[in-house]
Amino acid sequence: MTIRIAVVDDHPMIRAGLGAVIALESDMQLVGDAANGQQAIELFRETHPDVMLMDINMPVMDGVDAIRAIMSEATDDASVAAPRIIVLTVYAGDDDIHRALDAGAAGYLLKDMVGGQVIDAVRAAARGEQVIPTVVAAQLAEFGARVSLTARELEVLTMIARGLRNREIANEIGRTEETVKMHVKSVLAKLGVVDRTEAVAVALERGIIHTS
């Protein structure tokens, strides 16, 4: 059986490189590529690939939202088989991994993995296996339970990372400074840290927020 593959990444060189690796395999066929999450959804509708290699951080729509939309669309239409989606990204934070798997990803790879590992992962996913390399599993185990921030807490944390103080955050979200202080206190407690600087460092490490 030929495994039909779609590649989704906003970097042309990454797409070209993966295409070249796939072309060397007799049991694989590249059916198309896309540069963002919205294009990924359109590509899925047009080609119905068996496996999709999907980046997370992309313009227009990120990979996690695209995975969620594609899996939902496949679930709603019984005539369309859901693709096996493998995230291929530079982000190794446990929250990134959790979000991708919760959205319906069949696997999670890091971009520093060599071509052979990606090919093996594609074959495994096509067989119906979940692809979680040792380094990814270790990242999940290292941090333990997932941090669950509310939408408002995440918004406040993002503003803290931008360097805003409580009064500035209050002006941004239209709430009192006391309310912001409560949100900040809750964020620190959930992250298990003692100050704002440490909160940002931990949030970046775990993939809860990103700088780009």
- pTM exceeds cut of 0.75: yes
pLDDT in tens, 7-40: 999 999 999 999 999 999 999 999 999 999 999 9
**What is residue 186's predicted lDDT score, i.e. its pLDDT?**
96
pLDDT of residue 76: 85
Mean pLDDT of 70-78: 89
Angle (CA) 98-140-85 rounded to 5° is: 40
Q: Look-up: residue for tokens 């959790």?
A: 98
Structure confidence by residue, pLDDT tens digits, 129-188: 999 999 899 888 888 788 889 999 999 999 999 999 999 999 999 999 999 999 999 999
Residue 89 in tokens:
């990204």
Per-residue pLDDT averaged across 73-97, rounded?
A: 91
CA gap 189, 206 in Å, rounded:
16
Which domains does the chain possess? 3-143 (3.40.50.2300), 151-206 (1.10.10.10)
Fill in the DSSP letter of residue 106. Answer: S
